[in-house]
Every structure is written in C-alpha cells, then in structure tokens.
Structure 1
Amino acid sequence: MKKTIFGFAALMSAVVLAACGGGGTDTSGNNSGGNGNNKEELTFPIATKNNDDAIEDGELEAAVATDSQFKGLFQWEFYQDSYDAAFMAPSHEPLFANDDDFRITDDGAATLDLDEDTKKATIKVKDNVKWSDGEDVTADDVIFPYEIIGNKDYTGIRYDDTFRNIVGMEEYHDGSADTISGIKKIDDKTVEIEYKEVNPSMLQSGGGIWSYAAPKHTLEGVAIKDMESSDQVRKNPVTFGPYYMSNIVAGESVEYLPNEHYWNGTPKLKKITMKSVPMASATEALNSKLYDMIFQMPTDTYDTYKEIAGYTNLGREQTSYTYLGFKLGKWNADTKSVEYNPDSKMADKSLRQAMGYALDNDAVGERFYAGLRSNATSLIPPVFQSYHDDEMKGFTQDLDKAKKLLDDAGYKDVDDDGLREDKDGNKLTINFASMSGGETAQPLADYYIQQWKEIGLDVQYTTGRLIEFNSFYDKLENDDPEIDVYQAAWNTGTDPNPSGLWGPNAAFNYTRYESEENTKLINDISSSKAFDEEYQKEAYQKWQQYAFEEAFAIPTLFRNEVLPVNDRVKDWDWSYDVPNPWANVSVTADSRS
C-alpha cells in the first residue's frame, strides 16, 4: 500500500484506505479544555454479531460515500485512489495475507520466503487458486505485473524505487533488455526475484514486494500504453477474489456475482451491489435503509449517524495521522535530497515544541470529530502495535511549558504588545499554511492560530486565507518561502517505515529536515540487524523518541474510521488481519429493518 497525501476534505472525512486512534492525556500547568480528561472513550466492535441463520440466495447492497465518480481503474497496477479500492474489494484479492501488524503470513493465495543472504524472494502460488474464468493463477501471472509496471509505456504511478531495486529492472525499463534478469520462473507456480538490497520492510504487506498477480491470458494482447483504458481493466476484469464484477456502470455502481472458482471457500451471497452515494446524502440513505453498509463515511458528521435504528457502527484505527510540519530547508532536485537550513526561521526546536504544547488536540477530537480523533503522540500510528511506542505522551497541552520554552530560548515580548519578538528583538511573524475544504477546515485552523497567540506568537495565514488542495501541495513541494509551518496528513499505508516520509532522500519530506542522527536512526530500522523483531522494535522506538524531541513534525491527530452495518448482515469481520471479509459475509433476512 502506498503512502498517500490528503486534501483537507479527505483528511477530515477519512476518505482513505484505512484508519487510527489513541493518544495521551497527561497534563500540567495552565491548561484549557481539560486536555481531553473528560472525553468519552469511544470503543467499537470490529465484527458483526448476528446469531441468526443466513438465508439462501441472499443479496447485499453496499455503498461508498463520495462526492465524485469512481474512476473505474479495476486493476492493481493502475488504480490510484480509495474509491476504486473500495469497489475492488469484493472481487480483487492480493496474493498475500497479513497479521494484525501487517506482516505477510502464509494464509493468502501465495506464500513468500525472503532470503536476506542471497537477497532473493520466492513467491509460490497455492495449487487451488484460479481466476474467475476458471484459469489457474500461475507464475506467469505473478511475473506479468513487473513487466507491465516496468515497461517504458506504462501509464500508471507504481514504478518507483521498490521496482528499481529488482536486479535488471532498470535495463528492462530503459529498453536495453527485453526481460527482467532478476525475475525467474522456477515452475508453473513459483517465482524467484533477486533484489539489489533487502530490508525488513519487505516482510510487510505493501512494503517492497509487489503483492498482486495480473491475468496474463486476458491482458497480454493489449498494448501497455492502452491497458489502462482497456475493457479488460474497466469493463470485465478477471479476478480471483470471492466475487467477480458482473456489471459495471461507469462511475456509478458495480454488481458482483459469486466466483465459483474461489480458492478459499464458497461465497455466501447470490449477488452484491455497490453504489456511489454523495456524502451529504449518506446519513439519509442509512435512515431510509437503502444500504447494508456504507464505506468511507465522513467522520465530521458522525453525530448524525451514530445511532440509527437497525445499524451497528463498526470501527477501527487508521494507518494515518494529521501533523504540523515546519519548513526547515529546501529540496535539491539535482541530488534528490533534502538540504536542511540551520538558520531557517523555525530552526530552534524550542519554538517548534512550544507550538506543539499550545494545542489541545484531544479537545479538537471531541469538538470537531465527536471523539473519533484524539491527540497523536507519535509519527508511527498505534495501529502498528509492534512498532508504535505506546509509552510516549506526545505534545499534550501545557501552556506554561510552552511559554517557558519560548522564554528560555530568547523569544521575548520586547515592546509589551503581547506578541514575542525573535531572539534579536525583531518582529516575529510565522506564516501558517493549511488546506481549505469541508466545514471543519476554517474553525480548526482558527483554533490553532488562537492558541499560538495565547503563548505570544504572531501566526498569520500564508496568502491570508486557507489554500486550495493543489495549490497547497504545489507550495509545499516547491518550498514556498511564504510557508513556515503547515498542517497536512499522511496515510502511511501498511508499512510504517519512516524512510519514505522523513528520510534525507524522501521528496515527501516536506519539512526538509535532515540530520546525521535522523538518517542513522532511520537506516537502522531498515538494516539487516532489524530482521530481528526485538531489534527492529527498539530501532522504531529510538526514532520515535528522537522525532518527538526534535519536533520537525508534530503529530496532532490519530483517527478512527467507522462503518455502519445493518443488523441483518452476518459474519462480517473488518479486522486488518482477515484476508478477505467478503468471503464469509451473508445476510439473515430478505430486507433491512
């Protein structure tokens, strides 16, 4: 799963692939809002509890809450967003299953063996895995995605360093070789892939080894440049999940029928229908009993659907978080690396820490998100149980501490106007960039500015207002000097390794922070020593503590996502370690009540 950037509306409404929660509550000093000490702790079931018998030939209607039509790129090599991913879930299945830490297990359609000494991965497809048209899933189907993504005519977004890490991939990509020398077919079900380097993240789902197969027998006659728009991708994809797409109405709906060749049991439903529903209409659709479940419900309107008769809200932590980033340098496009500027306006970590301690993010979670958000304590979300440091308290609000940090660092109010000057006694204005979109964007940003003023900091909006999504990220990527601090969000995907977001060679490291120690700690997470789980856990903890102390980015909100499910639905389990919840789901009544 790829790292993902969010627009503010998506950031606020959980229009993402996955979700999170947690946060510290300890406080001291002159605090406002109680720092969430009186907040209601929300807990949700992760699976349905329905003891009635499933009916024969049951049909299930689902929806995805979205304000735009889905693109319909129904092939793993081409899909780009969470909307298409939601529609692909009943029919498309990855090769590998994972545990609750997203580590690859042997429970999926294929097994993975990674040899760190030879730097080779062996993928073996299980004998009973077939495509929905009855053809076997073979080694050729495992290899074909690499030939698609590595092709110079490939039109998707997947070709990156994880593919360049395969021996011979770059030669294949530039056309100097007809095949990828590092990929070998051992037999009809087994593939061996040789890498230039291996690291522990490759044992994570989505962490460096491509997790999907492509039906070569249906796609090989299509030119790579035309594949994205082909009928095989958009109208009648062949898949090996529990259902297959039987009818697609572009941008609107998909119907699914059982895959009689499914490798992992017999699907329980006669038919599934999934539709797009506007976010503004989603709650009314639930009240009208139009759907059995609606995915990607907006969390900022949770109060409107938290108690609807006939539905139970399931919930789970996200793999994402909101954060404040501080601009500390520039991106060098020639060297493809971060250039940290120790003389930048926000270079003093005491200033950055003070801005973190000024905020009561548990109160933000309560007031804006009905408790579905809470104070984030680390740049590793708690959904990654083995890697998240649950002893960290993070930046819980403490106004006295914030003021003392500024005083001790030399940020004093020289002219008694209530606002602090810089260390040289000059006027200090901090420019804050945040995205527009949704009802929450403006009041949340206003709250942050208000709290920073409470500790004596003059913070003004970059451009004088909130910034549209595309313009916002254009400014971040180009290191616009008008930005000193910004609010954004990341979906880490299923691999929490920080190198792709906070490393010295990460273009996504919009803070442009870099230090020898940060690089050392990040590299340690990816080192060969980290194949030992205890060593890796300790390496993650050391980096989290360092990131907290340096405060180049301050995590602000962890979050949960919620899925309303009608009470007639049986055996739906939303746990991350369930290979495919659609394989077992059924209904116990003909209609929703």
Structure 2
Amino acid sequence: MKKTHIAILFLFSSILILSACDQSTDEVSNVSVEHDYIDGFNQAIISDEPALDGGEITFGIVSDSPFQGVLNYNFYVNNRDRDIIDWFDEPLLALDANDTYTQDGAANYDVDHDDQSITLTIRDDVNWHDGNPVTAEDWAYAYEVIGHPDYEGPRYGADMRMIEGMEAYHSGESEEISGITIHDEKSLTIQYERLTPSLLANGIWPYALPKHVFEAYEVSEMASSEEVRQSPIGMGPFKVERVVPGESVLLTKNEDYWRGEPNLDQVTIKVIGTQVATEHLRSGEVDILNQFPTDQYVENQDLENITFLGDIDFTYTYIGFKLGEWDDESGQNVMHEDAKMGDVKLRRAMWYAVDHDQLGEELFDGLRWNATTLVPPTHPDYHDESIETPTYDPEQAEDLLDEAGYVDVTGDGFREDPDGEPLEINFASVAGGDTALPMAQYYVQSWQDIGLNVELAGGQLMDNNVLFDRLENDDPDIDVYVSAWAVGTDVNPEPLYGRYAPFNYSRYTSERQDELLEKGLSEEAFDMEYRQEVYSEWQAYMAEQVPVFPMHYRMQIVPVHDRVSNYAVHFNEDTGIHRYQLGVTEETD
C-alpha cells in the first residue's frame, strides 16, 4: 500500500453495487452500506442537461492547514498537494474499477514474463503543457531522479529497488540504471530482478518528469524549485496559471489535452476550513469539496442544490508509537532498544483502553467505525475480518500494565515504568474541525483512566504539516501520535511499514516482518490464495506487535452542486468519466 490518492473502488462484502435509477441525474452506481445513517450513495453524477461550452467551477479542499505546495507527483508528501496535482497532471497508465492498469491511458504496457521485463509505449499525441512531447526519456528520468542518491522524497521503495541496476545507481556505484532501456522517443523497457504481484497490480511508477525542465536543477533542489512550487507543469486537462502559496491555485483549460478539449474554461482550487465548509456550499462559493466533514453530514444532508456522492474511504486513521528513528546513512528505519514505548504490553494496553465504536458514533454519527487490521476493507480479498484484535476492555488494559511492571509506586494515581521511574507520555494530535479536540481529549482521558500519565505534546493540538515534519524528523518530544494513511490500490504494505519505508513513522522493524513482506512479493504470491495467507499472517503479526493500531475505517462523502455535470468520486475507465468531461449546466449568479 502506498501513500497516494489512487482510486480504490473495491468494496467490502456488505456493500452491494446496484444499477442506476432514472432520476434527475444519471447515477453511474449506487452503494448500499449496512451501516447506521447510510442507505446509499451514488459514486458519480451525470446531468441530464448538456454541459455548457465553457464555464468555471470552484473546487474546495477541506483543511484547517494550508497545502504545502509540493506540486509534482515525484516529490509531494501531503495528500492535499495530491488533490491539486490530479487536476493538471495524470499518470500515463489508466486504471479500471479494480485499480489495475488498462491499455486505455496515455500509454500502454506489455509484460514479458520470461524476460522479467515491462515495455511501456506513450501515445504520439501526449504533450506537456509547454507543447513539448512527453517522451520515454521523461519517463525514465522520473526513475533516475527517484533513485538518485540525493533524492529526498518518499517514492524510493521496494518496487523501485526491484529494477535491475537500481540499487547500484542509488548507492552511487553506477551512474546509470542498467535495467532501463530507451528504444525511441516514445518507448522504453524496464528490466526487473523479478516481476512481482505488486508490480503487475499497480507497481509501475506511472508518472513522467519533464527532463527539459528539471535537468537545470540538482536533484536535491527540485522539490523546492519554481517548476514545482510556483509554476508546476503537467500533461493533464488543465494548466496552472497562478499559485497563491498554501491558499489557492487557478487553472485554465489545456486545449491540447490528448483525450480532447476540456469543457470548462477555468477551475479555481482553494483551501476551505472545516468549520466553514457547509457555509461555502450553501452560499455557492464552492461547487465541489474533496470531502465533506463526516461530523457535519447528518445535519446537512438535505442541503439545497447539493448532491452528496460517497464511497468507502481508502484512508484509515491510526495511533502510532515512536520506537526508533530514520537512519539517513543506511536508508532504513532503526529501532531503539530503550524506546519509551518499546514494551508491547504497554502499547497493547493503550489499544484496549479506547472504545472506537463509541467514538465513531458520538463524534462522526457512525460514518466512522472501529478498525481492526492494517489492511482496510477497501481490499476485500485481503482484509481478514477473522483476526481478533483488542476491543474496548479497560480491565484487560490494567492487567497488562500490571503484568509488565507498570505500577503506581508513588501513590499519585499514575504508573511508573518497570524501573520505578516516572513515565510521562507525550501524545501528538492534529488540529481541525469541531471533533479534533474532543477526540484528542478522549484518548488522553482514556489512557489516564488506566493510570498512564499522558498529556498533549506541547499542551495543544498541532497543525497537520507541523506534525508530519516532526514525525519525519523523529522529534523526541513525541511518543504517541494520531495520523491517517490513504492506502494505495495494491495491498502490499511495505511502502508504509517496511524497513526501508520513510513513511514508517513508528520506525518498527523486525526480521519476521521482513520475511512476511518479502513473501508477499515472491513468485509464489502470484497465487492469490498464497498471497492472501501471507497478508493475513502479516495483519495478525502487526496486531500482536502493535507498532501502530488502527482507529477507524470511514466513509468519503463528496458534495457536488447540482449545476455540475460529469463528476465522480473516482475518475477511471469503468465509470467512463474523466476530468476533462467535467462541466456545468448553468453559470453562477
């Protein structure tokens, strides 16, 4: 699983995909979820009225923090940046509803199992926004930048290391990647040490990088360059005209877009605070939000002129424990033997101490519900519901702490560590919306109720960008943190939890996990039953070790103004809806 916003349309077994009803909109599909307050959400909407020739919309990104502004697929970290990039750039390979590659995108691919290679061919009519063609050299260049020793982004993972010669290139032993061969302007072949299920499911890096633009920079300077921050370039249906850092982006149509000229003349993307999201919809200041605050949905579900689309979100929230640090020299996570949160019984007790079902009901009206494993139900073939994981049981939590030697020796109501020393635990949580503070307070109180001296790190909630910076830099003043991952379309969890994964913020590693993750990418794992068994073992193992524990699975709810035509929660080949087809049936007042 990768930290990306690649669409996931796999739904767990209690969800039924039904054919559309003939209403005022042409409903591509209807999702019926057996869960409180959810009778059914459409995943896409097509107006009966033809779209106007031209027009403009405003797209809101709901956030109480500014977007970071790293506006390139090869360098971004924060998903708010990804929400922006998707409007002006796109992968060369298209996806179907099962999130596997098709031959319908800007490029096609050919797999040679005998040769352990994949040949990629770009269409002739695919160009960058500056008119230059998107070339095989641009695609290879993305691999060269990500694999470069000076690359500081998060994309160098297991799939990259599987390319022949990539490790030697990454270590500086070679000046080129021997496994990448460019045949002509539009085609290249990537030779792998071995093909894996992840590669064929969705592991080919599908994003080119315009070499004629970025070769002017050192690799270490690219992420902060003008062409990433102020004037990003892409190949998608819209072009960036202006960036107001952290606040908004103005886009205009790309008349040279390879699928066809977009309907809309202009798109404005801007950050909308959580608490004012509803008012912006009601007033017509925004036409679409990337997501609607779930705690506000029930009381606003009948908003005039708004249709709410929905799907199971591929983001899950989790609690993480800092157990080590990232080692730049070796490029891997390293655990500390004396980590404050190093005792698995301590971590497991903290899982038992919280009632996620109650939290989901009281704060989110049931639109978030208790999560069990680190493979969410958006991967129904791999999510193992049979695994028993801790559910709310404070007595069990206290018993575990007693067994581990965490007892109150001073009589102040808080437990000391097994050596009799004071145990103070700093908990970091993100600010945002009406639910952020009560949720953080709930966790703090739940852990204090079992005798743990837990306080908010710094005494207050943190800005999301600040929290991630501190986690990436392994701030010693953070012991426990709350965060969320948007998982990728392939089940492979290595990019989030592996030994060499920068996103593995807990820094947990073990030989047993290495073994399981390797098995999931083995030749045997092309057998689906074998791969299911491997990832079931991994889910159970992580539930035993508790470097992190999942909090909630949740719904993604997307409000769309009724004047908008051709919008989907996920644009893909199966819905037949693509972003360039987005339009409006009437102008704004």
2:12 and 2:403 mapped to 1: Cα distance?
28
Query: 2:253 is aligned with what amino acid?
Result: L
* Counterpart Cα distance in 2 of 1:161 and 1:202: 10
* Structure 1: gaps (5+ residues): 5-15, 26-36
SS state of the match for residue 439, structure 2? helix
User: How far did 1:211 drift?
Assistant: 0.8
Aligned equivalent of 2:22: none
Alignment partner for residue 143 of structure 1, among 140, 143, 155?
Answer: 140
In structure 1, which of residues 236, 250, 254 is the aligned counterpart of residue 250 of structure 2?
254
String of CA shifts for 1:274-319, please: whole Å, max 9, x gaps.
Answer: 2314415433221111232122554455467543210012223333
Code of the aligned partner of 1:96: L
Letter of the aligned partner of 1:185 in structure 2? I
Picking from 317, 324, 330, the partner of 2:319 is: 324
2:349 aligned with 1:354: yes
Matching of residue 63 in structure 1 with residue 57 in structure 2: no
Change (3 A) 1:380 1:269: same
Aligned to 1:561: 556
SS at match of 2:312: strand
Shift of 1:76: 3.3
Name which of 267, 283, 294 aligns with 1:273.
267
Counterparts of 1:133-532 in structure 2, within 5 Å, are 136-150=133-147, 158=155, 162-163=159-160, 165-169=162-166, 179-196=176-193, 198-205=195-202, 207=203, 209-216=204-211, 219=213, 222-224=216-218, 239-241=234-236, 243-245=237-239, 247-251=241-245, 252-259=248-255, 261-264=256-259, 266-267=260-261, 269-279=263-273, 280-302=275-297, 305-328=300-323, 349-392=344-387, 394-403=389-398, 426=420, 429=423, 431-438=425-432, 439-454=434-449, 456-461=450-455, 465-466=459-460, 468=462, 485-532=480-527
Cα root mean square deviation, aligned: 4.3
- SS at the partner of 1:382? coil
**Residue among 104, 109, 112 paired with 2:106:** 109
Which structure 2 segments of 5+ residues have no match?
Answer: 15-33
Q: Distance in 2 between matches of 1:178 and 1:332?
A: 24
Partner of 1:88: 85
Q: Which one is further off, 188-197 or 404-413?
A: 404-413
412-421 or 110-119, which deviates more: 412-421
Q: Matches of 2:338 and 2:125 in 1, distance apart?
A: 62
Please give the alpha-carbon distance, in whole angstroms, between the structure 2 residues aligned to 1:303 and 1:481: 40
Per-residue deviation, 1:496: 3.8
- What one-letter code is carried by the residue in structure 2 that aligns with 1:52? E
**C-alpha distance 98-461 of structure 1, shift in aligned 2 (>3 A):** same
Aligned-pair CA distance for 1:270: 4.0
Give the whole-Å Cα distance in 2 for the aligned partners of 1:405 and 1:294: 44
Give yes or no for the alignment of 1:586 onto 2:583.
Answer: yes
The whole-number CA distance in structure 1 between the counterparts of 2:84 and 2:189 is 31
Relative distance call for 1:445 and 1:516 in structure 2 (3 A) is same
8 Å CA contact 2:97, 2:572 repeated in 1? yes
Q: Distance in 2 between matches of 1:21 and 1:457?
A: 41
Which fold has the larger relative contact order, with Cα–Cα distance below 8 Å and residues 6 or more apart in sequence? Answer: 1
The CA distance in 2 between the partners of 1:69 and 1:474, in whole Å, is: 14
- What amino acid is aligned across from residue 358 of structure 1 in structure 2? A
1:437 CA displacement: 2.3
1:93-140 C-alpha deviation (Å, 9 max, x unpaired)? 211122445333333222234445544222122455455566654423
1:157-193 deviation digits (Å, cap 9, x = unpaired): 6556654554445666677766433211234432111
Q: Given the superposition, is the C-alpha separation of residues 316 and 204 from structure 1 closer, same or farther in structure 2, using an over 3 Å criterion?
A: same
The 3 A distance-change label for structure 1 pair 76 and 570 is same
**Structure 2 residue aligned with 1:13:** none
The secondary structure found in structure 2 opposite 1:89 is helix
Give the structure-2-normalised TM-score. 0.79
1-structure distance, mates of 2:565, 2:456: 50
Please tell me the residue identity of whatever aligns with 1:182: G
**2:379–2:491 contact (8 Å) kept in structure 1:** yes
In 2 relative to 1, CA 440–257 (structure 1 residues): closer, same or farther, beyond 3 Å?
same
Task: Determine if contact 1:87/1:274 at 8 Å carries over to the other structure.
Answer: no
